[in-house]
């Protein structure tokens, strides 16, 4: 299953939205590599890219939160840390086991669905906060 970008994922912050689009594409590329039985090189490439892009995006988002004094920064940072751990866990399992149906399920639940919910519940609040500070 591929994740589709839709406008209900827009936070209204252009930088954050563009990075979210890239993140969803990275998740789809990984799922694609897993489900289409692509080789190990492609599995490793896609999971590594997802892992590094996640860290880049979270660092940007956290820097914006500090810059604009986001009141829920500490919790938000914890959510990000949790997600990074999930991706690293999946990375390790992929290296050890290769792709399998259980892992594809984990990628959907712990990565794809998680990020969609996080964007809608948390990142939207961050973008609104930044917008309110810019007025
Ligand atoms: Fe976030
Ligand atoms: Fe985000």
Residue 69 Ramachandran class (φ > 0 left, ψ -120 to 50 alpha, else beta): left
pTM: 0.95
Domain covering 13-134, topology? 1.20.120
**CB distance 56 to 87 below 8 Å:** no
CA of 74 to the centre of ligand 1 (A): 11
Q: Which ligand lies nearest the alpha carbon of 80? A: 1
Q: What pLDDT score does 85 carry? A: 98
Q: What is the DSSP letter of 2?
A: -
CA of 36 to the centre of ligand 2 (A): 28
- H runs (alpha helix) in 4-123: 14-35, 40-67, 73-97, 101-106, 114-118
List of the chain residues with pLDDT < 50: none
Domain boundaries, the chain: 13-134
CA of 38 to the centre of ligand 1 (A): 30
Q: What pLDDT score does 1 carry? A: 63
CA of 123 to the centre of ligand 1 (A): 5
Residue 37 Ramachandran class (φ > 0 left, ψ -120 to 50 alpha, else beta): left
């Amino acid at each position: 299953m591929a994740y589709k970008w839709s406008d209900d994922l827009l936070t209204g912050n252009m930088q954050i939205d563009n990075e979210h689009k890239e993140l969803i594409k990275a998740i789809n590329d990984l799922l694609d590599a897993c489900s289409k039985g692509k080789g190990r090189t492609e599995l490793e490439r896609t999971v590594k890219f997802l892992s590094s892009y996640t860290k880049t995006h979270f660092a940007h988002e956290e820097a914006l939160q500090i810059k604009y004094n986001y009141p829920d920064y500490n919790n938000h940072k914890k959510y990000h840390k949790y997600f990074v751990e999930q991706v690293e866990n999946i990375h390790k399992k992929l290296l050890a086991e290769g792709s399998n149906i259980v892992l594809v399920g984990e990628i959907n639940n712990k990565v794809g669905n998680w990020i969609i919910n996080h964007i809608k519940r948390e990142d939207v609040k961050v973008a609104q906060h930044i917008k309110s500070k810019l007025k």
